[in-house]
A = this chain, B = another copy of it.
Amino acid sequence: MVQVTAPVVIALDAMGGDRAPHIVVRGAELARERFPDVHFLMFGDEAKISPLLAKYEALAAVTTLRHSDGVILNEDKPSTALRGGRNSSMRHAIDAVSAGEASAVISAGNTGALMAIAKFVLKTLPGIDRPAICGFVPTARGEAAMLDLGANVQCNAQNLVQFAVMGEVFARTVLNLDRPIIGLLNVGVEDLKGVEEVKEAATILRAIDLPIEFKGFIEGTDIAAGTVDVVVTDGFTGNVALKTAEGIVRLYAGFLREAFRADFMSKLGYLFAKRQIEKLRERIDPRQYNGAMLLGLNGIVVKSHGGADALGFANAIGVGVDMVLHGFMEKMTQDFASLGTVEEAQLREATGP
């Protein structure tokens, strides 16, 4: 008998993002070239998307387009999007994952709405109180995963511990690491520093006998240094830190551009060094790190940057496909189920009656 493997189906919210649906269709085409076996289930305004799809024959052949009337706007509150967005492309794309029609959903739309709808439709995994947003950051050793990037502005110790375990499964699965090292972001590496929740989370992570490599506290400078593979923090700090770094990278890239345009000699220098400078630009290209994962849900949800271009969106699709192909959901469910039991028992021991 011939074994037939069903293709991986990815649901796309074609109306999310600053330049939707153009960027979504072009991003899907780029992703198709990299993953020829993937099928797409695209949701959005048929009148706008059909003419775009018509330009890419190969993409059209692996894409099913389903019309959705509604669009969730960037300025919509999560609660409004949840109540009023039942007919939106975002909601339909998430529903497709819930119905088992697709293995992952990618959207460049409103993050708060995506999280609210995904939580409502897909629910969180057993053992997880709150899902978190996880992203990639460049480091001296490659890249690290960092969470939470803004889903939970206030976190208790238990939330941070769950983020650590979620991040560990993610790094093991998607970054393909045997024993990812986990660090808890703090204002110093000494035990006495930091806010109570962070100190308590560290105590729990040290006390419970999970099979994870907990490094302890790390500082902001440790992120880019690549001291750990998973950076755990609350959503307020994580969001601010990442965006601060993003801003400073943009500033310095501008300074570098100015330097190469400043005089004749530096322009000449640029011509000689061009190949390496272009390589450098690719290396630090933020589009490479596009694609933030909503972890802790009963389904794979990837958020692309709203301003991403086609290449950025294709990378976000790539992250979703990777998670599906590496069996992220299965590992997450298994590990959390078994870890949950261990954790509970040991937590009781560690924290006393």
In the bound assembly, the distance between CA atoms of A265 and B223 in angstroms comes to 32
In the bound assembly, the distance between CA atoms of A242 and B219 in angstroms comes to 10
A243, A277, A283 interface centre (most CB from chain B within 10 Å): A243
Once the chains bind, are B272 and A251 in contact (CB under 8 Å)?
Answer: no
Once the chains bind, are A154 and B256 in contact (CB under 8 Å)?
Answer: no
Mask: chain A, 182-216; 1 = CB below 8 Å from B; 0 = not: 00011100001111000000000000000000000
Flag the segment in A93-101, A172-180, A230-238 that touches B: A230-238
Once the chains bind, are B195 and A220 in contact (CB under 8 Å)?
Answer: no
* Residues of the B chain whose Cβ atoms lie less than 8 Å from the Cβ of A48: none
* Residues of the B chain whose Cβ atoms lie less than 8 Å from the Cβ of A244: 220-221, 223-224, 241-242, 244-245
Q: Please, how many residues of chain A have a CB less than 8 angstroms from a CB on the other chain?
A: 63
* Residues of the B chain whose Cβ atoms lie less than 8 Å from the Cβ of A192: 77
Q: Which of B249, B259, B284 has a CB less than 8 Å from the CB of A280? A: B259
In the bound assembly, the distance between CA atoms of A260 and B139 in angstroms comes to 19
Q: Is A126 an interface residue (CB 8 A)?
A: no
A217-271 interface with B by 8 A CB criterion: 219-225, 233, 235-237, 239-252, 254-256, 258-260, 262-263, 265-266, 268-271
Mask: chain A, 267-298; 1 = CB below 8 Å from B; 0 = not: 01111111111011001100000000000000
**Chain B residue at smallest Cβ distance from A79:** B192
* Residues of the B chain whose Cβ atoms lie less than 8 Å from the Cβ of A225: 247, 250-251
Mask: chain A, 66-89; 1 = CB below 8 Å from B; 0 = not: 000000000001000000000000
Q: Is A340 an interface residue (CB 8 A)?
A: no
In the bound assembly, the distance between CA atoms of A124 and B64 in angstroms comes to 67
Q: Is A135 an interface residue (CB 8 A)?
A: no
Once the chains bind, are A252 and B195 in contact (CB under 8 Å)?
Answer: no
Given the contacts A259-B280, A260-B276, A271-B269, A220 and B243 also touching, CB distance less than 8 Å: yes
In the bound assembly, the distance between CA atoms of A219 and B243 in angstroms comes to 7
Given the contacts A259-B277, A273-B270, A235 and B187 also touching, CB distance less than 8 Å: yes
* Residues of the B chain whose Cβ atoms lie less than 8 Å from the Cβ of A233: 240
In the bound assembly, the distance between CA atoms of A272 and B274 in angstroms comes to 12
Q: Is A150 an interface residue (CB 8 A)?
A: yes
A139, A244, A273, A279 interface centre (most CB from chain B within 10 Å): A244
Q: Which of B224, B259, B266, B283 has a CB less than 8 Å from the CB of A248? A: B224
A241, A254, A256, A262 interface centre (most CB from chain B within 10 Å): A241
